[in-house]
A and B are shown apart, each in its own frame.
Chain A
Amino acid sequence: MTSAFVDQFRQAPPEGPAWLTAVRRRAMARFEQVGFPTTRNEDWHFTNPAPIAEASFVPMPAGHGTLTPGDLSPWLFGQDDWPLLVFVNGRYVPSLSRLRVETGGVKVMSLAAAMLEEPSLLERHLTRRADVEDVSQVFSAINTGLMSDGAVVQVQAGVTAARPIHLLYVTDAAADGGVSHPRTLLVAEPGSGATIIEQYVSAGGGGYFTNALTEAWIGDGASLTHYRLQREARNAFHVGTATVHQERDSHLFSFSFSTGALLSRINVYAGLHGPGCGATLNGLYMLDGSQHCDHQTRIVHSQPGCYSRELYKGVLDDASHGVFNGKVYVHPEAQKTDGKQTNNALLLSERARIDTKPQLEIFADDVKCTHGATVGRIDESALFYMKSRGIPNREARRLLTYAFAAEVLETIQVDALRDQLERLTLARFTGDAEGR
């Protein structure tokens, strides 16, 4: 049985330059060869992708239906001078977007436009970071084969983008049963700086599949801050990978916020390929009902004198299931590596479950690498203390849960975004629909 994705690629391969067509063919051939992973694959041990593999998702319909700029307000952060690219069902929608703000040295455009206007930029970077050969990453291969639109951001050398750039991927009610393969390319040239907010949301729910892939390249001395928000519909599927390549003395701050989808798998891969780099990978996932969310992070230290920091927190209610797998590889050349990984989960129900797996492989001898994982419940002594001050049980639990999450939310450097996510987090624990 061949996958619907293979059929689709054969019947209607997306357009693009010749070099890309060749890459697409190789990627899809690889997928056809290895198929979807099963739970026998170590990287998918706790997450069974069968519900995605067995569903026959069809390409999402074109057009953005009835969505108006006013409909976007739940996902915006009140800053109307930020560049905003809006995609509906995987396709760029200029009438909902705001691009006038590019001032010197920052290019923000859709992938479809970049195919025409920036062919050499794409040839240098697009498909160059993602690994489509890895049997664990067939979703990246599928995205590479079938991607047709997405976002491209390039910040030129020495330029710091003044405002966060918001990439908003919306799936609407017309896309029920559909799949999109949004592709994002971020290029921070040497000495530049940028903040990107990449957000996946749903207008009207449905059982769709988002198969997203982001590639980022951070040049010498550049810094990239990348917020990734997964707020898909409750019945949706989401697989998203961010693969970041770092050159000498560059910095990455990555934050994954994940609250949506029935089943989600989020991969954050950072390759520290020059000396003196730093990477911080933080995240917060909040699940309830029968939601399943799997984060896999991978930090590769291939050069000396780099540091990495990781703080992931999960709040799990009802019969939800969280997975955190944090890989850190330290190559023999990567002396003086300083790595720290922390994963904390808070279980709010007896039925909630977390599988957490730190995975450190260290081949250099002069390194400092630590990891720690905790799984806990609401602190009963703190609960009693709050109640003894007159705070009702429900409110006290909500506050303690929020406090657990707040530690990692506080690391968000964009005030408007942090405020919004703090509000969403509080709302989630009051049963307020906004927090879902």
Chain B
Amino acid sequence: MLQINDLHASAGGNEILRGITLSIDSGEVHAIMGPNGSGKSTLAQVLAGHPGYDVTAGSVTYRGRDLLEMEPEERAQAGVFLAFQYPVEIPGVSNAYFLRSAYNEIRKARGEAEADPLEFLDIVAGKLELVDMDDTMLTRSVNTGFSGGEKKRNEILQLAVLDPTLAILDETDSGLDIDALRTVADGVNRLRGRDNAFLVVTHYQRLLNYIVPDVVHVLIDGRIARSGGKELALELEDRGYDWLEAEAVAGGGA
């Protein structure tokens, strides 16, 4: 579904991604782990099309299309979704309007009929329960005045409503207490399917207790230092990142 090949990206002239190669198939969950500043979030943002990053080399192919040539909204319409590490507050735009606009744009792109406000309420009602939110949040402005946990749950609500093919979760666990973490993880697990894939970016292993990955990649200094099964995450939990960083310095040389 997604092939990333030797991807280099920089921000403000500083190279952050220095040659990422990885491949994700339908039905898989991949985890990206790594210390702060290793480029995890940059990778997530580059895949979503954030204008603040320049891709300087490499390619990304998503379902046969050149992802890097697509505008952020085209990526979303083609089924790419990024759950933000820091969801943005948009005062004055209600969650209901925002979500329905997004939902209908994606429906339009798929050649499907748009939902009117009443039909849409039915669709959302079932998803709200998935993330343990009540419908009063629909009338509130997008993320405005939401607690950290509410913002993250709102991201998962959007994920559930928009039903992407490739979902990227950027540190969705940061700032969550254990109950909220479990709610969010349960929501994600119920959305996992044969036809979609997840890329879970996280600093800590604990989220992976709940969202069990098929593959774990460790990012060090903009490169994948190691890939392995879910047991790699546990090893990192025990040993930290230092040994991999030391290896990267020793092995990378340049």
Which of A's residues lie within 8 Å of B, judged by CB?
Answer: 379-382, 384-393, 395-396, 399-400, 402-404, 406-407
User: Given A382-B90, A388-B48, A390-B76, does the pair A399, B101 have CB atoms closer than 8 Å?
Assistant: yes
Residues of B within 8 A of A403 (CB): 90-93, 141
Contact B101 A391 (CB under 8 A): yes
> Assuming A392-B105, A395-B101, A399-B101, is B72 touching A387 (CB within 8 A)?
yes
B interface residues, tally (CB under 8 Å): 30
Residues of A contacting B81 with CB < 8 Å?
388-389
| Pairwise interchain contact A400-B73, C-beta atoms closer than 8 A | no
Query: Is B102 interfacial (CB-CB < 8 Å)?
Result: yes
The residues of B with any CB-CB pair to A shorter than 8 Å are 48-51, 71-73, 75-77, 81-82, 84, 87-93, 97-98, 101-102, 105-106, 109, 141, 158, 162
* A400 and B90 in contact, given A389-B158, A390-B105 (Cβ under 8 angstroms): yes
Q: Which of B72, B73, B93, B162 contacts A399 (CB 8 A)?
A: B93
Complex alpha-carbon distance, A407 and B91, angstroms:
8
Contact flag A389-B50 (CB < 8 Å), given A406-B92, A407-B91: no
Please indicate the chain A residues that have their CB under 8 angstroms from the CB of B158 in the complex: 389
Quick check: B91 and A389 within 8 Å, CB to CB?
A: no
Assess the A389–B88 pair: CB atoms within 8 A. Answer: no
List the A residue with the shortest CB-CB distance to B79: A390
How distant is the Cα of A380 from the Cα of B72 in the complex, in angstroms? 13
- CB of B92 within 8 A of CB of A402, answer yes
Measured between alpha carbons, how far is A385 from B151 in the docked complex, in Å?
13
CB distance from B196 to the nearest CB of A (A): 16
Q: How far is the CB of A95 from chain B (nearest CB, A)?
A: 41
- CB-CB under 8 A from A390, the residues of chain B are 73, 76-77, 102, 105-106, 109, 162
B102 touches A391 (CB 8 A): yes
Which residue of B is nearest A380, CB measured? B51
- Least CB distance, B179 to chain A, in whole angstroms: 26
What residue of chain B has the Cβ atom nearest to residue A404's Cβ?
B92
Given contacts A381-B88, A382-B88, A392-B105, whether A387 and B93 have CB atoms under 8 Å apart is no
How distant is A147 from chain B, measured CB to nearest CB, in Å? 40
A385-B50 Cα distance, complex, nearest whole Å: 9
Q: Please, which residues of chain A bring their CB within 8 A of the CB of B141? A: 403
- B68 CB to nearest chain A CB (Å): 15
Question: Could you show 23 A-B contacts with beta carbons less than 8 Å apart?
Answer: A379-B90, A380-B51, A382-B89, A384-B88, A385-B84, A385-B87, A385-B90, A387-B71, A388-B73, A388-B76, A388-B82, A389-B81, A389-B102, A389-B105, A390-B77, A391-B98, A391-B101, A391-B102, A395-B101, A396-B73, A400-B93, A402-B93, A406-B92
Q: B residues within 8 A CB of A392?
A: 73, 105
Q: Are A393 and B71 in contact, CB atoms less than 8 angstroms apart?
A: yes
- In the docked arrangement, what's the CA distance between A384 and B51, Å? 8
What is the minimal beta-carbon distance from B107 to any residue of chain A, in angstroms? 9
Highest count of chain B CB atoms <10 Å: which of A379, A381, A388, A399: A388
Residues of chain A within 8 A (CB-CB) of B72 are 384, 387-388
CB neighbours (8 Å) of B98 from chain A are 386, 389, 391, 399
Q: Which residue of B lies closest to A407 (CB)?
A: B92
**Chain A residues whose CB sits within 8 angstroms of the CB of B51 once the complex forms:** 380, 384
Which of B50, B91, B105 is A391 in contact with, Cβ under 8 Å?
B105
- Decide: A389 near B71, CB < 8 A? Known: A382-B88, A402-B92: no
> In the complex, given contacts A379-B90, A400-B90, what are 12 additional A-B residue pairs having Cβ atoms less than 8 angstroms apart?
A382-B90, A385-B88, A385-B90, A389-B102, A389-B158, A390-B76, A390-B109, A390-B162, A393-B73, A399-B93, A399-B101, A404-B92
Inter-chain CA distance A71–B182, complex, in Å, is 61
Pairs A-B, 4 closest by C-beta atoms:
A403-B92, A390-B76, A389-B102, A385-B88
Bound Cα distance from A385 to B97, whole angstroms: 14
Closest to A392 in B: B73
A385, A393, A399, A407 — most chain B CB neighbours (10 Å): A385
**Best-surrounded residue of A385, A389, A399 (most CB of chain B within 10 A):** A389
Residues on B with beta carbons closer than 8 Å to the beta carbon of A396: 73
B120 nearest CB across to chain A (Å): 14
Bound Cα distance A381, B84 (Å): 11
**B92 CB contacts on chain A under 8 angstroms:** 402-404, 406-407
